[in-house]
Structure 1
Amino acid sequence: MAIDASSVRELRDRTSAGFLDCKNALEEANGDFEKAGEILKKKGLAKAMKKGSRGTPEGRIGSYIHTNGKLGVLIEVNCETDFVAKNDVFADLLKDLCMHIAATDPMAVSRETVPQDVIDKERKTYSEEFKDKPDNVRDKIIDGKMESFFKEVCLIDQPFVKDNDRTIEDLLKSAITKLGENVKISRFARFAIGE
């Protein structure tokens, strides 16, 4: 099927993918925009996964102070080049992350950065709560409770406050796809008066 330039441009406007990627996706989907969008999404996530292993020596510090002056957030987000760190997409990502942290108060960036003593305490609490259950059932319940715990306290696993259908990890993968570079959240701090 021949794909005209206006169709490619329309898909490109919708997805921010490259011209050639849009053309190939439309050809593969026989002109169906929805299918082409799904194809691009899958390819974009695959590219993001490959880029996820590359180093991130550059980046920026983002900040947010709530209008009442009683809540503030600092975040360090890293990328591969200074050029990307100065990009508007990167700046928007920093703003979104800061506002999300202000709203949700996560404990850690990822599961790997949650202190082990906190994990052990949480597991012990669930173990005592379900001590009357058979071992195999109790273990499954505890695993499920821990999964919920991580989704609540780990920034990467939290649903994005502006779009609950996406997690912060999805937001990062989208940024990686748009920017063409690896992007990582290194650390953050949330400050609130009285806390």
Structure 2
Amino acid sequence: MANYTAADVKKLRELTGAGMMDCKKALDEADGSVEGAVEALRIKGQKGVAKREGRSAENGAVVSLISEDKTSGVLLELKCETDFVAKGEKFQAVANALAAHVAATSPADIATLLASEIEAGKTVQAYVDEANANLGEKIVLDRFAQFTGGYVAAYMHRTMPDLPPQVGVLVELDKENAEVAKDVAQHITAFAPKYLNRDEVPAETVENERRVAEATSREEGKPEAALPKIVEGRVNGFFKDVVVLEQAFAKDPKKSVQKVLDEAGVSLKRFARIKVGI
């Protein structure tokens, strides 16, 4: 039997993120050598990457990175299979490294990001695959947002105190106002709007809402003459649900988000909201 200690197992777990039994087995195979066990786990991990492709990755973390001058920011989601891995330092270090890479390279889309080099001779996709191998779970990078130009801020929300942030919001204002940026980002976290303004809502989506509103009104037996006004009222209600500027502000429901921004003398240029697995 290989000669190793509990401290060796602990060290191997810290180095690789692998489970205790996997670490013990690797140490047995490597005759107690931690270095040999690391290599063995990496080899087995790489072999398992393809096998894990069909598995579900619904846990993970959202990370953010804001520049010192607050004129640019990144929001990035990295997914894994279990919350055990999600709250580990190694997984979060990978997520933060990927966010820093986005900040430095400004990729146009996820395909460009995955094909870019994060280290000499290593693409982001290879970097993610390496994390997949080392952590022993399916690791997925398929969403990020990056804003540059105005005043950028982020708000990160933890659904559980022992987990990393599961919801992240990035906002860009036309001028600096930290308090309003935080308030609006918190509002977006809670109310999950889909669009900034009415112009962003696809025409076919609006027409579908109008058809549903009319059909519902007729089913309810509303007077024919009143239908146009009723339908428009319901469509306006739809806008208040999905358009952030028209939503009732979380901290003061008597005001719209637009009203709060107007009173502060700032404009919300854009926002991004990412919730892990959704």
Asked if Structure 1 and Structure 2 have the same fold, meaning a TM-score greater than 0.5 normalized by the shorter chain, the answer is yes
1:23-81 alpha-carbon deviations (Å, 9 max, x no partner)? 33233333444333221101122233322321234444432211111221122333345
Q: Quote the offset at 1:172 in angstroms.
A: 2.2
User: In structure 1, which of residues 158, 171, 174 is the aligned counterpart of residue 116 of structure 2?
Assistant: 158
TM-score, normalised by the number of residues in structure 1: 0.59
* Alpha-carbon contact 1:52-1:183 (below 8 Å) kept: no
Residue 176 (structure 1) aligned with residue 176 (structure 2): no
Matched residue, 1:92 = 93
Gaps of at least 5 residues in structure 1 are 111-153
Residue 64 (structure 1) aligned with residue 20 (structure 2): no
* Alpha-carbon contact 2:17-2:134 (below 8 Å) kept: yes
Identical counterparts, % of pairs? 38
- Cα 1:106–1:86 change in 2 (3 A) is same
Aligned residue pairs: how many?
A: 149
CA distance in 1, matches of 2:24, 2:84: 27
TM-score, normalised by the number of residues in structure 2: 0.44
CA distance in 2, matches of 1:82, 1:26: 26
* Alpha-carbon contact 1:3-1:23 (below 8 Å) kept: no
Q: What does 1:84-163 align with in structure 2 at a 5 Å threshold?
A: 85=86, 88-110=89-111, 154-160=112-118, 163=119
Aligned Cα RMSD in Å?
3.1
What is the one-letter code of the residue matched to 1:39? Answer: A
What is the one-letter code of the residue matched to 1:67? Answer: E
Gaps of at least 5 residues in structure 2 are 151-278
* Alpha-carbon contact 2:17-2:90 (below 8 Å) kept: no
Matched residue, 1:190 = 146
* Alpha-carbon contact 1:74-1:98 (below 8 Å) kept: yes
- Indicate the structure (1 or 2) with the bigger Cα radius of gyration: 2
Q: Which has the higher strand share?
A: 2
1:132-178 alpha-carbon deviations (Å, 9 max, x no partner)? xxxxxxxxxxxxxxxxxxxxxx3223332xx5464423432344356
* Alpha-carbon contact 2:4-2:32 (below 8 Å) kept: no
Q: Which has the higher helix share?
A: 1
Between the two structures, name the one with larger relative contact order (CA 8 Å, sep ≥ 6): 1
